[in-house]
């Protein structure tokens, strides 16, 4: 009987496995493919990421420093070539370029596949039994245990544990098996890359995709990433092609993934709990979930005692106390993406410039009341 069986070894599952193993629990973790594969993420994260990594991580994973974002109401045109490194727009598209920046580094672009492998290695070193190529096909919950069935290279086996952690991403099988509610929304995201090295200081954000946005991320030697995400019903590939055509570049290595937004009311059951994308612990205004997932994994490892199912309530409280208000504010910020263009321009012009906000913590600058007053009546979403 294991203390915890963990399903999925992305950032949330790897972090929870590591922390629970460090606390002395017996942890068995299953990853259906190879850890880190396939890639469906930009790996654009606040510099807080380095608080979750081990020795040598920065040298191994770091790609680029980012000081801010240039927002554009429209498509690319010539805007990347017309803004200088200080974020001051010059040239043809000055009217459509609104830089938000800090004088110090705001975020890093990192090797996301490498991050997952690094985090899984840390979990193994802490004593967790992490098994690649094991797909969990069934989860059953009883009063005194859970049974988790996994199909691996040597066949199918069923494992007993005191609790199961569903860290299996946006389409979580564990969530379904435990009859836990779905996230509010699943956005569809696409990515592709061009080869030319670019170590510039700004990401570009284009408010051209309905109810979300498109982006360009300089990844230094990793080339440049172009991406777009939008809710169901939006022609994501059509909008993405317009982005690529607007930048007039050739891209390769296309990939896509889902972004859950809006955590459900409950992410715990009798002997099971969800962490990360399975629980929609993401930022509604960017879709980023790496830091929120790992932060929630720390809450889970600290609060949950596998011998006391009532401790699941403490996890539910802890992660919500920490992140729920940030997520609520994030929903309100996202509303700005749906405002009419002229209103967006006025708002962006007024708000742009040097900023004090932490990219994972909108409450560091905005108050909910303030945002509601600004966005409440005009918002389309």
User: SS3 of 69, please?
Assistant: strand
**Residue 189 makes contact with ligand FAD by CB under 6 A:** yes
User: SS3 of 222, please?
Assistant: coil
**Residue 173 makes contact with ligand FAD by CB under 6 A:** yes
Least distance between ligand FAD and beta carbon 3 (Å)? 18
Nearer to ligand FAD, 12 or 371 (CB): 12
Restricting to residues 219-238, name those near ligand FAD by CB under 6 A. 227, 229
The stretch near ligand FAD (CB under 6 A) out of 5-13, 85-93, 177-185, 206-214 is: 5-13
Restricting to residues 132-151, name those near ligand FAD by CB under 6 A. 135-136
Q: Percent helix, strand and coil across the chain, each rounded to 5?
A: 35, 30, 35
**Residue 257 makes contact with ligand FAD by CB under 6 A:** yes
**Residue 63 makes contact with ligand FAD by CB under 6 A:** no
* Residue found by looking up tokens 């569903």 in the block: 166
User: SS3 of 48, please?
Assistant: helix
Measured CA distances, 302 to 36, 51, 234, 323, 328 (Å):
25, 17, 40, 16, 24
CA dist 362 and 364 (Å) reads 5
**Residue 33 makes contact with ligand FAD by CB under 6 A:** yes
Least distance between ligand FAD and beta carbon 346 (Å)? 28
- Out of 87, 169, 263, 284, point to the residue binding ligand FAD (CB under 6 A): 169
CA dist 147 and 310 (Å) reads 19
**Residue 267 makes contact with ligand FAD by CB under 6 A:** no
Restricting to residues 314-373, name those near ligand FAD by CB under 6 A. none
**Residue 290 makes contact with ligand FAD by CB under 6 A:** yes
User: SS3 of 228, please?
Assistant: strand
DSSP 51: G
Measured CA distances, 368 to 168, 265, 282, 319, 375 (Å):
31, 20, 18, 19, 10
Least distance between ligand FAD and beta carbon 345 (Å)? 26
Nearer to ligand FAD, 82 or 135 (CB): 135
Least distance between ligand FAD and beta carbon 18 (Å)? 13
Decide if 188 contacts 267 (C-beta within 8 A): no
Nearer to ligand FAD, 16 or 77 (CB): 16
Give the number of residues in contact with ligand FAD, rule: CB under 6 A: 39
Q: Which helix (H) or strand (E) holds 323?
A: helix 312-335
CA nearest to 263, candidates 189, 331, 358: 331
CA nearest to 146, candidates 29, 17, 270: 270
DSSP 56: T
- Out of 17, 19, 21, 32, point to the residue binding ligand FAD (CB under 6 A): 32
Least distance between ligand FAD and beta carbon 41 (Å)? 3
Least distance between ligand FAD and beta carbon 55 (Å)? 22
Least distance between ligand FAD and beta carbon 10 (Å)? 2
Q: How many C-beta neighbours within 10 Å does residue 1 have?
A: 11
- Which residue ranges make up the site for ligand FAD (CB under 6 A)? 7-13, 30-33, 40-45, 135-136, 167-169, 173, 189, 191, 227, 229, 257-259, 276-277, 282, 287-291, 293
């Amino acid at each position: 009987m294991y203390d915890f069986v963990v399903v999925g070894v992305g950032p949330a599952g790897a972090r929870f496995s590591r922390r629970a193993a460090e606390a002395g629990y017996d942890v068995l973790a299953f990853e259906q493919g190879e850890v880190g594969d396939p890639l469906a993420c930009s790996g654009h994260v606040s510099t807080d990421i380095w608080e979750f990594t081990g020795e040598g991580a920065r040298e191994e994973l770091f790609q680029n420093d980012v000081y801010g974002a240039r927002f554009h109401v429209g498509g690319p045109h010539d805007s990347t070539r017309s803004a200088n490194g200080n974020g001051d727009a010059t040239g043809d598209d000055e009217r459509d370029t609104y830089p938000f920046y800090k004088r110090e580094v705001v975020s890093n672009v990192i090797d996301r596949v490498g991050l997952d492998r690094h985090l899984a290695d840390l979990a193994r070193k802490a004593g967790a039994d992490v098994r690649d190529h094991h797909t969990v096909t069934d989860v059953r919950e009883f009063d005194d245990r859970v049974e988790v069935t996994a199909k691996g290279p040597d066949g199918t086996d069923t494992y007993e544990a005191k609790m199961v952690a569903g860290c299996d991403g946006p389409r979580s099988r564990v969530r379904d098996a435990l009859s836990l509610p779905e996230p509010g929304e699943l956005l569809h995201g696409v990515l592709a890359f061009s080869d030319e090295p670019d170590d510039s200081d700004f990401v570009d954000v284009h408010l051209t995709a309905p109810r979300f946005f498109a982006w360009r991320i300089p990844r230094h030697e990793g080339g440049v990433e172009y991406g777009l995400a939008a809710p169901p019903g939006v022609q994501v590939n059509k909008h993405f092609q317009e982005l690529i055509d607007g930048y007039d570049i050739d891209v390769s290595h296309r990939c896509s993934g889902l972004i859950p937004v809006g955590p459900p009311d409950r992410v715990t059951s009798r002997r099971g709990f969800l962490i990360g994308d399975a629980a929609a612990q993401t930022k509604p205004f960017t879709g980023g979930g790496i830091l929120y997932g790992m932060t929630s994994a720390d809450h889970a490892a600290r609060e949950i005692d596998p011998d006391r199912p009532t401790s699941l309530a403490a996890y539910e409280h802890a992660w919500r106390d920490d992140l729920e208000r940030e997520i609520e504010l994030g929903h309100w910020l996202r509303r700005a993406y749906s405002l009419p263009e002229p209103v967006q321009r006025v708002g962006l012009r007024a708000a742009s410039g040097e900023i004090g906000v932490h990219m994972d913590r909108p409450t560091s600058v905005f108050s909910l009341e303030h945002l509601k007053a600004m966005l409440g009546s005009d918002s389309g979403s």
